A and B are shown apart, each in its own frame.
Chain A
């Protein structure tokens, strides 16, 4: 057994252990912290599997933004939990939940065991056609060229999710409230200091990851997540406020990613072979243009998803 195999086995045992602990622990905040550690360790698992693009996404979303979202949810639930703990769990619902969970686990295990080995794969085909776009990263090729339709629809789904969050706003704030509470922090405190020092670095890193995504692991989603985290940091430090949901510039940023995608797609239909067909000579510039627009949309959408529903009027 090599050192690498031993490391992988230890990693797998720790990931399974943390997953078990996270589901068993009673305290919600502790479960969230467990889930964060689980996300970061899962990113290491993806690195060991050679899927660095997935590892970056898992670290940014599973270990980062989802953690902020879940910590906020745990803080909001704190009051309700005390009363829920006082109630005795009823036998029949608990037994039904146990039976349902057992059936789901059994079905998943059966599905995994019945998978063909070796798994059917299109990876050789994707690698063989890599030259068609001029990009060196096969994952970006699949996301932005071979399966570009999926990526475009994914961005539309993100927007629909944001609309779902916004629709929780009370009627009077629907037309232009500000999302989330107004954060206040000591303007000379350490949080405000971090929120002034870190964003320039974080924005450069986000743009670098977008740019590197053409030929190395990275891309619009990972870069956009980092930019969103920087924006949230500045909001939480109270340096800037969340924009009112009616702001025209904000809405333009929110739709620019899918809009550029659709325009390029229709141009492919008009001048080329099919919807989203890139002319070979312009494939790379077009893909980079779409990705730049998508970074803006992803950063704004993720930031606003975490900020929450409009809950204050725009006027102070």
Chain B
């Protein structure tokens, strides 16, 4: 039983670390604010969720397990809200790209913007 739980922990935490890695690569490589936010939320939601899932069998008692789940839920709430706010601000300022190219210009063509 304990071995199975340990295997679950290793598998889930590794999968969570993979999502954090993928989210970080996306944050560094994606072209504009909205896609970068998309990459970040994957790390927050799935990455942290899998890490918490993996830590649950090691928590020892129910109180610590519930606290871990609360941490994940609070990060979900904060992450989703902040992503919406940043995306809204990026749309309102028209500067969704790193070099200040607007959403519309970005949608229209793949030409490099000045």
Contact = CB atoms under 8 A, between A and B. Distances in A.
By secondary structure, the A interface counts as helix
Interface string A162-194: 000000000000000000000000000011011
A190 B78 CA distance: 11
Interface in B59-87: 74, 77-78, 81, 84-85
Nearest to A186: B88
Interface in A36-86: none
14 contacts: A190-B81, A190-B84, A190-B85, A190-B88, A191-B81, A191-B85, A193-B81, A194-B77, A194-B78, A194-B81, A197-B77, A198-B77, A198-B78, A201-B74
Interface residues of A, number: 7
Interface of A: 190-191, 193-194, 197-198, 201
Interface residues of B, number: 7
Nearest to A185: B85
Nearest to A202: B74
Interface of B: 74, 77-78, 81, 84-85, 88
Contacts, number: 14
A201 B85 CA distance: 21
A204 to B, nearest CB: 11
A211 to B, nearest CB: 15
Contacts of B78: 194, 198
A198 B75 CA distance: 11
Among the interface residues B74, B78, B81, B85, which one has the most CB atoms of the partner chain A within 10 A? B81
Contacts of A197: 77
Nearest to B81: A194
B95 to A, nearest CB: 13
Nearest to B87: A190
B68 to A, nearest CB: 15
A193 B84 CA distance: 12
A191 B81 CA distance: 7
A39 B32 CA distance: 27
B88 to A, nearest CB: 8
Q: Which 8 A-B pairs have the closest CB atoms?
A: A190-B84, A194-B81, A190-B81, A191-B85, A190-B85, A197-B77, A198-B77, A194-B77
B94 to A, nearest CB: 17
A172 B33 CA distance: 44
A288 to B, nearest CB: 22
Contacts of B74: 201
A280 to B, nearest CB: 32
Contacts of B84: 190
A194 B88 CA distance: 15
